[in-house]
């Protein structure tokens, strides 16, 4: 082993590369192997960073490269100062965009020197965790009424490609940063570079960057970078929670890509795959990340995570493992999206453990149950309607169908995030207004208004502002004629 000292008296340990296979690099050290998670540097100007993931024998470590490994060759010198991967923390990171190493990637002035922290931190102990449950209002009707989120909890957005996960996350950032005085963090794991660029510009135009931090490990980066960017984002979020006692909203897009990166790393490291090709350590790796998201006596990190569901199959191991960590699950439906009902939330598939009388109150709970029952009845009647038409239904069933269709349309909402595409001004609706609207629809107060009047409005009183003329024929008769 060669040990050299640099100007700051840090001991630098040297080794030699003995093999490079894609992102996996094996390095030989004479003795004193570097510990797991130590960062090694090699290549021209030491630009390739390698994180040690296993010690193969007394002289060899195997690591995963966090940069592309072009230019590395056998026999090249590898140096390490014994430190792990660190990222900057502090107030000066607000409004900036970073990569997994904590380097700024927004083409602005370099970040001034400041405190850096190791990305591998332990979750907060149980003694420091808060035991009370609080609701986290989003300003989105469908979520606040039927799937209330928990402050300091984890909510999952489940859906296949193209059903609106990223748009819903962007809308939540807009509503949270504008309304709460907390910090918003966006962590892009394995997503498209175009989406990161669009989000950055959208946040800049909306003047929301000043209370926001962005981290990206994009899909064109090696699996090692995508695998570690979530830990880097949590380290920054923990600073604002523990040191500044602020509430943090952490948005992760997409947690499935974290699992996928772990699967790639596991395969490259030579581990035997488990069910459906996933890594055998998937449960542990996901827990290491998720358990750091918590509500402590200092503050809270509330996380909303987009979860890509492979082939829309909710029994996929990635979706199942993610479910076990969540306090709320918001399932997005392709069928709803195709009908133009945005946000395309499947209200019967989505659920929240916060929806109990003790937390949201008896009145809200009863109303939510009544809405679910109405929508479930409508779902059962759909087959009869498609085969025999509305006229075969009893008067009672027709009323159920009319209420359900109005509720479905009332729970659509124009988003600030889509103003430029839809031309409809975005709206944020308070929980009180959302509950009031649902209650009045279920009481048949608006049964003479056409269904279209309920589509893409904010509070229920906007129906009257639309100056919609009441139809001479009842909606049931109109529906019957349509079926004929």
Residue 165 is a catalytic residue: yes
**What's the rounded Cα separation, in Å, for the pair 39 and 46?**
12
In this structure, what token pair is assigned to residue 413?
């909402």
E strands within 71-196?
77-80, 86-88, 97-98, 116-118, 135-136, 149-150, 154-159, 183-189
Angle at 375 between CA 370 and CA 381, to 5 degrees: 125
Which of 62, 96, 141, 165 does the annotation list as catalytic? Answer: 165
Closest Cα to residue 427, out of 447, 455, 446?
455
Which of 83, 192, 335, 382 does the annotation list as catalytic? Answer: 192
Which of 51, 150, 171, 191 does the annotation list as catalytic? Answer: 191
Residue 191 is a catalytic residue: yes
**What's the rounded Cα separation, in Å, for the pair 51 and 264?**
15
End-to-end alpha-carbon separation of the chain, Å? 86
Burial class (CB in 10 A: 0-12, 13-18, 19+), 240: buried
State the residue for tokens 């609706």.
Answer: 429
**What's the rounded Cα separation, in Å, for the pair 280 and 116?**
32
Q: Any residues with CB less than 8 A from the CB of 302 and at least 6 apart, and which?
A: 136, 149, 150, 151, 152, 153, 154, 155, 247, 248, 249, 250, 293, 295
Residue 41 is a catalytic residue: no
Phi, psi of 339 (to 5 degrees): -85, -5
Residue-wise DSSP of 118-138: ES--PPPPGGGB-----EE--
Region of residue 292 (phi > 0: left; psi between -120 and 50: alpha; otherwise: beta): alpha
**What's the rounded Cα separation, in Å, for the pair 57 and 66?**
23
E strands within 315-395?
328-331, 351-352
Q: What is the DSSP letter of 148?
A: P
Q: What is the DSSP letter of 329?
A: E
**What's the rounded Cα separation, in Å, for the pair 310 and 329?**
16
**What's the rounded Cα separation, in Å, for the pair 108 and 369?**
51
- Where in the sequence numbering do the catalytic residues fall? 165, 191-192
């Amino acid at each position: 082993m060669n040990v050299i000292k640099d100007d700051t008296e840090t001991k630098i340990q040297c080794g030699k590369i003995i093999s490079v296979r894609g992102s996996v690099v094996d390095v030989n050290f004479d003795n004193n192997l570097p510990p797991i998670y130590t960062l090694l540097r090699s290549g021209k100007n030491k630009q390739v960073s390698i994180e040690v993931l296993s010690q193969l024998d007394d002289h060899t470590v195997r690591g995963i490269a966090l940069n592309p490994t072009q230019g590395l060759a056998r026999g090249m010198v590898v140096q390490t100062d014994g430190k792990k991967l660190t990222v900057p923390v502090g107030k000066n990171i607000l409004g900036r965009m970073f990569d997994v190493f904590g380097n700024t990637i927004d083409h602005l002035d370099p970040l001034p020197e400041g405190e850096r922290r190791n990305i591998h931190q332990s979750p907060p102990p149980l003694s420091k965790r808060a035991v009370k449950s609080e609701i986290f209002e989003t300003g989105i009707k469908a979520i606040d009424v039927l799937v209330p989120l928990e402050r300091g909890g984890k909510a999952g957005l489940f859906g296949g490609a193209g059903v609106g996960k990223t748009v819903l996350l962007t809308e939540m950032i807009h509503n949270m940063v504008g309304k709460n005085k907390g910090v918003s963090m966006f962590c892009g794991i394995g997503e498209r570079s175009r989406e990161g660029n669009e989000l950055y510009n959208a946040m800049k135009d909306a003047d929301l960057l000043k209370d926001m931090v962005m981290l990206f490990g994009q899909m064109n980066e090696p699996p090692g970078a995508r695998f570690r960017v979530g830990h880097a984002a949590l380290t920054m979020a923990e600073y604002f929670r523990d040191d500044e006692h602020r509430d943090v909203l952490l948005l992760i897009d997409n947690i499935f890509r974290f699992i996928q990166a772990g699967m790639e790393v596991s395969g490259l490291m030579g581990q035997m795959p488990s069910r459906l090709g996933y890594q055998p350590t998937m449960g542990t790796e996901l827990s290491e990340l998720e358990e750091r998201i918590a509500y402590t006596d200092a503050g809270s990190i509330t996380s909303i995570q987009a979860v890509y569901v492979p082939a829309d199959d909710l029994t996929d191991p990635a979706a199942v493992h993610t479910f076990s960590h969540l306090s709320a699950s918001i399932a997005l439906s392709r069928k709803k999206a195709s009908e133009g009902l945005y946000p395309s939330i499947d209200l019967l598939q989505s659920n929240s453990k916060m929806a109990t009388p003790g937390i949201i109150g008896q009145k809200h709970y009863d109303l939510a149950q009544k809405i679910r029952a109405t929508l479930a009845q409508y779902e059962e009647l759909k087959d009869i309607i498609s085969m025999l038409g509305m006229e075969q239904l009893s008067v009672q069933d027709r009323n159920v169908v009319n209420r359900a269709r109005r509720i479905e349309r009332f729970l659509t909402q124009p988003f600030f995030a889509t103003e430029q595409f839809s031309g409809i001004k975005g709206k944020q609706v308070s929980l009180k207004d959302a509950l009031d609207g649902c209650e009045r629809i279920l009481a048949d107060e608006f049964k003479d208004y056409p269904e279209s009047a309920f589509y893409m409005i904010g509070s229920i009183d906007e129906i009257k502002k639309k100056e919609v003329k009441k139809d001479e024929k009842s909606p049931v008769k109109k529906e019957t004629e349509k079926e004929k």
